[in-house]
Chains A and B, each alone.
Chain A
Amino acid sequence: MEQDTLTIAAEVDATRLEPLETVLADLRRDLDPRTRTADPVVDLPKLGTIHFARFVLIRDERGRPPCLLFATDFDGGRAAHLGVLADQVGPGLEQVFAHCKGFRPGRGVGALVRWMAEHSIEPLCTYRGHPGRGVDQIRQERTLCDALRRHLASLPANPGLDGRSACHAYVQGVGQLAPLLDPPPPARLPQWKKMGLRLRWFAGNTHRLVRALWRIEGQLAELERAESQAFFDARKAATAAGAALHGTGRSLLEHEDLAVSNQLTSVAELKPQPLRREILELVLSAAHLRARTRFDRGDLSGIRTIHFARWFLLDEPPGSPHPPRLVFFSNYDGSWESYLGDFVDQAAWKLTAIWANTQGFPPTEDLVFKGASQERWFKEFVRRVQVPTQVWYAAYPDLTVSEVNRNSKLRELLPKRGGRTEQEAWLQCL
């Protein structure tokens, strides 16, 4: 199953900020079955193809106009997705987008699709924790797994019993489940396609790589020294007034840990040097390639809790005094503390390679060293650049990445013939 992402960014009409906040707050309330008081204005679950979605309202303290982001992770192609969105939840989306500058509602499905396409941004990097598995497939495989566990519980614990064969026979006899014995669609790219992606990346990026290395050689050491000095000076200058501000970031917490899955949105200003943007784009394009060729089994550099993640740049109009911003969306399992801890423990240098190009990041050495491995300062940095996610939708908020992948494997191995080892492998997936 093909999967893609949609990222829409539009300037909010500053006079309509408050009504937009109300619309989004209502949407958040109504998308959550526990708090719902009416049908959601934008009925995202109805589509059945959206894994995760979010609306984020970014208010900038440095003078940029407010900005609305809308993002989805979905099954199928993007053109079809835009069409389905406009067709099925168009009126709801128009109620939200009506708060954006220049948006005129009521001009029909075609106009809405065009507006969304015009305002969409191509991410620099996307990652998927269970590539190729559609929303339907994930839900069916969960049902299958639950049924098998129930069936096993009903069997006598005969030491010699082959649980897998018993389950296979059981599934064959249940009309709803039997179709799942057909082999699932392939989840990962074949080797030859991966090789093609690698070749294309090198063909497109070698000259950028050489140029960036050349510039790094000349500028980096001095730059890092100055940045490190500024970082420590800022820490020493922290005052009692800062203590009051310290508390404001905590409001993020009220929307965390409501289910097993969680969301994170961060917005970080790039450092002003052109070199920084160059490095960032190069690093993220390499990460994007690796996400397709290497990290396609639910494990991003040792982090096994990310369902979908993406990085993209919010550019400024020409002549703006503001630097571009790096936006990061993540849909992950478990608490913020464990997620960030995993990052620091498993992939600190990779995080450093990305976020060292943004302002306020802990000091680095040679581009990838120190940085995020300075756990305390790194977590402070993340909380500082994190912004609230006004609306978040998750199609299966109680399933972890590892469960989704294990359920698929359970189904895949069920009809296979084999001896004790296969039997053991199957049991491990239960």
Chain B
Amino acid sequence: MPVKPTAIDLEDVQGIVLRGYGRLKAACSLLLRFEPDAHALAWLADLRPHLTSAATSPTGSAWNVGFTRTGLERMELPREADLSFDPAFVEGMTGPKEDGSSHRSRLLGDEEESAPARWLWGNAANRVDAVLLLFATDDPALRKLLAAEGPRLARHRITIAAALEGRTLPERQEHFGFRDGISQPAVRNANPPGARPGVLEPGREENTVEPGEFLLGHCDAYEQRSEGGVLPADVAGAALLPAIDPAADPRRHFGHDGSYLVLRQLAQDVTQFWGAVRDAADRAGVEPIWLASRLVGRWPSGAPAVLATKSDDRDLVDHNDFGFAEDDPDGVACPHGSHIRRANPRDWHLAPRGVDASRLSNRHRLIRRGRPYGKELVSDLDPAKLLDAPPDATARGLQFLCFNASIERQFEFVQSTWLDHRKFAGVRDESDPVLGTRAGANGPFTLRGAPFPRSIEGLRRFVQVRGGAYFFVPGLAAIDWLVRDAATPSRSAAPTPPRASA
């Protein structure tokens, strides 16, 4: 039966799902492991008062938490929950084999140098059970936060498997020098007051997505309720969890107001990217920054290539109101295989005429919360300087985070059917020019235009996966249910007051 759209209780949703925390410039994801002697539940109970909801916009600091399937096991979540969780979450990002031959690794392109066996974390060698997402206004404040969280973790004997910093680079650029995070879906019925414009403001209808696409327990793009972690009606502490449907289905919904978090550490090779662009531009007799903007689909400033066809246009920074079918059906200004067309084809979709293509594309949207890590290659990330900058030894890249309610239909679909599909939109054996895996191949990338299409060669895999895991970020009521019996130790050692807000 179709589910009616419902209001979202922002107090129950963990803040990072619906807010980017743009004012909190410093971030750190602590990847945690619960060894057999860890007091996982007690730690969560201890942490609970600090967790930040989506109800207010934090100005000082923020805490959010997520768990892998193995982590939820340690939180004593019954196995029944697996029946309704996304199978990708239950299985985990690596699949059964870690050499890149698992189905999931093939689908995600986690092969060869990016195979799970070679990751820094998230594999058997460095298992991860939970992630603690910490945000603060600046680096000193973040260090203070970490100085308080460290002892708390140590007290509960929880191991830090890895700590990923998340930075805010000038002009919100990523390391290749392009402004990032411009296009985000608007979530129907969930506009937190004070969220940064351009992210979750009431959007144009073509960019508005049902809440159930990101939050379980709500109406999704198919008018069904997104479900995950469904438990028997008589589960212990049932009264603390909402029923699936108070009228018709008394089973309890652990997943209510929760969301799946996809976290991937993506290393970027900046000099290799710009070197390949420079060489290809030389061979084709075009301007390198123009060519790079065809690959990305936006200019470094963020101006869309569809509209700014000849040169960058500062007036179009963050401009997001355009369509591909509408503005560039033949892919002349913004090639069919470019990164932003692949990442979200918008109104241009492999669907018959007369079908609302935006609506179909919107069944595969992601809320992105990624932040760059590592020092930038040149201080202002000016592409003209990046082009000729010599390589250095710094590790840098993107700490990719995104939220969705179906990993298979959203994140994995975008990755395999759009970004890394060799035949996407009729291209012939290409891959995403920025993120693509290009297993062994050397390019190509087709530029359309007079007098006939031309391919550029020499593109390599510029982005490698260094770690990754699927987490579940529960609603706060669900966390209260998990810790209902856990002894709450003294909070004297706790850092700054909870929910620091305006």
A238: chain B residues at CB < 8 Å are 80, 83, 230
With A240-B79, A257-B107 as contacts: A335 and B413 at CB distance below 8 Å: yes
Q: Which of A158, A257, A299 contacts B352 (CB 8 A)?
A: A299
Q: Which of A195-252 contact B (CB under 8 A)?
A: 232, 236, 238-240, 242-244, 246-247, 250
Q: Which of A341, A345, A377 contacts B413 (CB 8 A)?
A: A341
A253: chain B residues at CB < 8 Å are 103-104
Q: Is A75 an interface residue (CB 8 A)?
A: no
Q: Is A80 an interface residue (CB 8 A)?
A: no
Q: In the assembled complex, how far is the CB of residue A97 from the closest CB belonging to chain B, in whole angstroms?
A: 31
Q: Is A373 an interface residue (CB 8 A)?
A: yes
The 6 nearest A-B residue pairs measured at CB: A163-B452, A253-B103, A375-B222, A338-B417, A243-B82, A302-B352
Across the interface, do B454 and A157 meet the contact criterion of CB distance under 8 Å? yes
Docked pose: A398 CA to B422 CA in angstroms? 9
Q: Is A23 an interface residue (CB 8 A)?
A: no
With A243-B80, A373-B222 as contacts: A333 and B451 at CB distance below 8 Å: no
Across the interface, do B79 and A243 meet the contact criterion of CB distance under 8 Å? yes
Dominant SS among interface residues on chain A: helix
With A240-B79, A427-B452 as contacts: A260 and B106 at CB distance below 8 Å: no
6 additional contacts (CB under 8 A) given A158-B451, A239-B232: A149-B428, A242-B80, A243-B80, A243-B83, A337-B409, A337-B417
Across the interface, do B451 and A157 meet the contact criterion of CB distance under 8 Å? yes
State which of A8-16, A123-131, A320-328, A400-408 sits at the interface with chain B: A400-408
Across the interface, do A254 and B103 meet the contact criterion of CB distance under 8 Å? yes
Across the interface, do B452 and A345 meet the contact criterion of CB distance under 8 Å? no
Across the interface, do B451 and A402 meet the contact criterion of CB distance under 8 Å? no
Across the interface, do A376 and B224 meet the contact criterion of CB distance under 8 Å? yes
Across the interface, do A335 and B423 meet the contact criterion of CB distance under 8 Å? no
Contact with B along A333-353 (1 / 0, CB 8 A): 111011001001110000000
Q: Chain A CB within 10 Å — which of B355, B409, B413, B455 has the most? A: B409
Across the interface, do A346 and B351 meet the contact criterion of CB distance under 8 Å? yes
Docked pose: A376 CA to B106 CA in angstroms? 23
Across the interface, do B412 and A337 meet the contact criterion of CB distance under 8 Å? yes
Q: In the assembled complex, how far is the CB of residue A401 from the closest CB belonging to chain B, in whole angstroms?
A: 10
Interchain Cβ contacts under 8 Å between A and B, 24 examples: A153-B455, A157-B285, A158-B451, A159-B450, A238-B80, A238-B230, A239-B80, A243-B81, A243-B82, A246-B87, A247-B90, A253-B104, A257-B103, A334-B423, A335-B417, A337-B412, A338-B413, A341-B363, A344-B222, A373-B222, A376-B220, A376-B406, A430-B452, A430-B453
Spell out B's residues near A (CB within 8 Å).
78-83, 87, 90-91, 102-104, 106-107, 220, 222, 224, 226-227, 230, 232, 248-249, 251, 285, 330, 350-352, 355, 360, 363, 406, 408-409, 412-413, 416-417, 421-423, 426, 428-429, 450-455
Across the interface, do B363 and A236 meet the contact criterion of CB distance under 8 Å? no
A250: chain B residues at CB < 8 Å are 87, 91
Q: Is A174 an interface residue (CB 8 A)?
A: no
**Which of chain A's residues has its CB closest to B425's CB?**
A402
Q: Which of B82, B106, B417 contacts A246 (CB 8 A)?
A: B82
Across the interface, do A335 and B87 meet the contact criterion of CB distance under 8 Å? no
Across the interface, do A402 and B83 meet the contact criterion of CB distance under 8 Å? no
Q: Is A18 an interface residue (CB 8 A)?
A: no
Across the interface, do B454 and A302 meet the contact criterion of CB distance under 8 Å? no
Docked pose: A177 CA to B302 CA in angstroms? 46
Docked pose: A299 CA to B87 CA in angstroms? 31
Please tell me the size bucket of the interface on A.
Answer: 35 or more
Across the interface, do B417 and A302 meet the contact criterion of CB distance under 8 Å? no
B90: chain A residues at CB < 8 Å are 246-247
Across the interface, do A374 and B224 meet the contact criterion of CB distance under 8 Å? yes
**Which of chain A's residues has its CB closest to B360's CB?**
A345
Q: Which of A149, A159, A243, A376 contacts B451 (CB 8 A)?
A: A159
Q: Is A256 an interface residue (CB 8 A)?
A: yes
Across the interface, do B355 and A346 meet the contact criterion of CB distance under 8 Å? yes
With A157-B454, A238-B83, A246-B82 as contacts: A376 and B227 at CB distance below 8 Å: yes
Across the interface, do B351 and A403 meet the contact criterion of CB distance under 8 Å? no
Q: In the assembled complex, how far is the CB of residue B127 from the closest CB belonging to chain A, in whole angstroms?
A: 19
Docked pose: A428 CA to B417 CA in angstroms? 22
Across the interface, do B352 and A346 meet the contact criterion of CB distance under 8 Å? yes
With A242-B83, A257-B103, A375-B224 as contacts: A400 and B423 at CB distance below 8 Å: yes
Q: Which of A247, A335, A373, A427 contacts B453 (CB 8 A)?
A: A427
Q: In the assembled complex, how far is the CB of residue A111 from the closest CB belonging to chain B, in whole angstroms?
A: 41
Across the interface, do A240 and B352 meet the contact criterion of CB distance under 8 Å? no
A257: chain B residues at CB < 8 Å are 103, 106-107, 416
Q: In the assembled complex, how far is the CB of residue B103 from the closest CB belonging to chain A, in whole angstroms?
A: 4
Docked pose: A273 CA to B25 CA in angstroms? 64
B452: chain A residues at CB < 8 Å are 152, 161, 163, 427, 430
Across the interface, do A240 and B451 meet the contact criterion of CB distance under 8 Å? no
Q: Is A162 an interface residue (CB 8 A)?
A: yes
B409: chain A residues at CB < 8 Å are 337, 341, 375
Docked pose: A328 CA to B174 CA in angstroms? 47
**Which of chain A's residues has its CB closest to B422's CB?**
A260
Across the interface, do B451 and A337 meet the contact criterion of CB distance under 8 Å? no
Docked pose: A304 CA to B353 CA in angstroms? 13
With A243-B83, A256-B103, A402-B426 as contacts: A236 and B251 at CB distance below 8 Å: yes
Docked pose: A53 CA to B440 CA in angstroms? 29
Q: In the assembled complex, how far is the CB of residue B206 from the closest CB belonging to chain A, in whole angstroms?
A: 16
Docked pose: A49 CA to B350 CA in angstroms? 30
Q: Is A33 an interface residue (CB 8 A)?
A: no
Contact with B along A369-382 (1 / 0, CB 8 A): 00001111100000
**Which of chain B's residues has its CB closest to A402's CB?**
B426
Docked pose: A427 CA to B452 CA in angstroms? 7
Q: Chain A CB within 10 Å — which of B83, B87, B220 has the most? A: B83
Docked pose: A240 CA to B226 CA in angstroms? 20
Docked pose: A257 CA to B351 CA in angstroms? 22
Across the interface, do A334 and B417 meet the contact criterion of CB distance under 8 Å? yes
With A236-B251, A256-B103, A258-B106 as contacts: A161 and B451 at CB distance below 8 Å: yes
